[in-house]
Chains A and B, each alone.
Chain A
């Protein structure tokens, strides 16, 4: 940390190296009070031990995080007989691609992936735009009932989806004006798109909050200048604010993609036959039995089923994992920078 402690540690290492460093150290120590000496010693020990301790902690916990992923890969490429073989822990005895292929078929992977992507990217994109507009409105304009309305945003963050999922279901089941016309929107993409367009999608409250905090951090003079130059508010937003908010947009977009990708609850409320990856994965058990063994009652031991489950997991996180690896910086720095601090 500091230069002095660095020197102390060095001195201790080179004790055999000659008299002068030791003497110098002795002299320095003598000139200190007992309290100071104690402090220097404590610090020297701590500085030497801490990196080792830190490494152990990070390695151990990193293992806890990576373990399931390594296990997934390991399971995907083994035969199911290997699951009951106690000698097989990490490295499969019988390497095979069959499990992967079977899981691809059982999940109807490519079609499911396409559905998921259409849903995911589209919804995230509209949601980011609508949340940005709303966040900007809350950040930069004064209007009546602003406090109350922002309270609703906070409510949106706090209220779990499960509370409103049931009425939402009926809302979409009988969508329209009562007495005039109603349409059944269940099982269509609209159930996800309509809330996303109107800034009410998955975790949109949080996104509005992020955008509000972000826009509040930008200098007001930007808009004043645009206003003097004759820009209307919408034009100001598009021409001045959006170019400045690139990082916030990307961060929110990425998180939105992740949350839509992982969502199981909302999509299974509104979907019956449309399958996203998350839904497919949850129902993998039955799908497997039906598609691979042509009967829903086949008994496969739960231990052996793990092979397909893990393969399914691997397949469904791979796209998002690639996204994460590619854009890791935006994931990790973006949300902290764009300042969610103001809760």
Chain B
């Protein structure tokens, strides 16, 4: 099976400082790829390269190839705006836009010129998929800012799902959440992988072990090891991986 995203020799630097070195990684379709590693290891940089969010910051430079369905996303003819509709992202901090829950969810579809007639259906489907529908269905006109942190993060997930992307990038989506909210997000993710390709960056190795099908371990800008989650957590090939997952550093 061809990988959904094929990363070949990716090197990313910021103001000449390398943040990622020569990463080769194939992301399989309809799977959850967990990315673990200590902070500063380049996980977020890696994630933000995949939907070209780094392009918005001055000083970032990427080399190597990132192929989405075989097409190079850094090719001049590849439109970054269109890319971000196909590769959605959920950030570490839940950020609801200061507008109603409803408007938050349809923010993406509205910008891409979707038919208004579909909005009600998009809102219901996306909120259900993010396990938030039952809590907010009677107050969709409430400001998104009024929701709790855990609810806001599920709103962020719903907002990304509303775009019907191919790939969902999640950057430590549960770092500030309580265990119940975390469980809801994890449950949503395991259902969502049937339709989407998911990349989950997490600081919580247990979370990767729980939900990821494949896991990649980053350390100081390098991809140390990648493989099926069960294998990586039981018989890691690299000593550094073993040290990290057993908590000897990081």
- Chain A partners chain B: no
